[in-house]
Chain A
Amino acid sequence: MGRRADTAADSEAVLLTPTAPDPLRLTHPTSTMITWGAVGLGYSLIGGTFRRLTIPAEIATLLPGAAIVWYALRPATDRFPAPDAAINRRTTLPWAVLAVAFGIWELYAAARGSTHAHPTLSILLGPLIDPPPARAAGYVAWLLAGVWVVRR
């Protein structure tokens, strides 16, 4: 009886414990990957047609954003195991310096009004990502980045 209870508990624990997912291998796509890839591509092409600063454009990023954040934070979502090698914080100094430098540069441009003379990065990139194909490519890149975060 006790053994049966242990077995049932073990089975339940196995079901509830997140397991490491298979890596996404583009050379060996599964039907699920192809389906979600097609959905993401279609969504990106449609999202790319929405003009910026409109409600459809905002919904186009809010909805998948909410879905991916919810999916990523679910306890049952499969994740890769943590990296083996711990990172020494001192070795991350170059990245920290770059992040601070970028933040200061952005804040400086924003404080100067984010004008033509002092553009923030988004103002600078605005004309480049304005055409629908470029916006669609932006959606593809953004969604892929979201999937990467979920899978890590």
Chain B
Amino acid sequence: MSPRAITVTGYVVIGAAALLVEVVARRPGSRVPTFSQLLSHVIHEKWGRVGMLLAWWWLGFHFLSRS
């Protein structure tokens, strides 16, 4: 297995795990928050809101302008 394949596999595994957590969070009675609930909670804290905005801004700059 090439180093590139290993690196890509790592991203796929992390993405699949995130999908799994989201599915578990959406089951009735689950105590795990969904990704949306987690972000909503973070955003309602002042510094969480600032951090989320800066992260959003950086993502656009990095992926759309610099990558």
Task: List the interface of chain A (C-beta within 8 A of B).
Answer: 47, 52-53, 57-58, 60-62, 64-66, 68-69, 72-73, 82-83, 87-88, 91-92, 94-95, 98, 101-102, 105, 109, 116-119, 121-126, 129, 135, 138-139, 142, 145-146, 149, 152
Cβ of A149 and Cβ of B18 under 8 Å apart? no
**What residues of A have a CB within 8 angstroms of the CB of B39 in the complex?**
152
Report the count of interface residues on B (CB-CB < 8 A): 39
Q: A62-B61, A98-B21 are in contact. Are A87 and B44 (CB under 8 A)?
A: no
| B38 near A65: Cβ-Cβ < 8 Å | no
**In the complex, what distance in Å separates the CA atom of A113 from the CA atom of B59?**
20
Q: Are A87 and B56 in contact (CB under 8 A)?
A: no
CA of A18 to CA of B27, assembled, Å: 34
Secondary structure class of chain A's binding surface, majority of residues: helix
Given A53-B66, A101-B14, A122-B67, A142 and B59 contact (CB-CB distance below 8 Å): yes
Question: For the complex, what is the distance from the CA of A57 to the CA of B65, rounded to whole Å?
Answer: 5
Q: A118-B7, A129-B64 are in contact. Are A149 and B14 (CB under 8 A)?
A: no
In whole angstroms, how far apart are the Cα atoms of A121 and B4 in the complex?
Answer: 12
Q: How many A-B Cβ pairs are below 8 Å?
A: 120
Q: Are B65 and A68 in contact (CB under 8 A)?
A: no
In contact, B2 and A117 (Cβ under 8 angstroms):
yes
Which residues on the B side are within 8 Å of A91 (C-beta)? 31-33
CA distance A69 to B44 in the complex (A): 15
Choose one: B8, B17, B37, B65; the contact of A61 (CB below 8 Å): B65
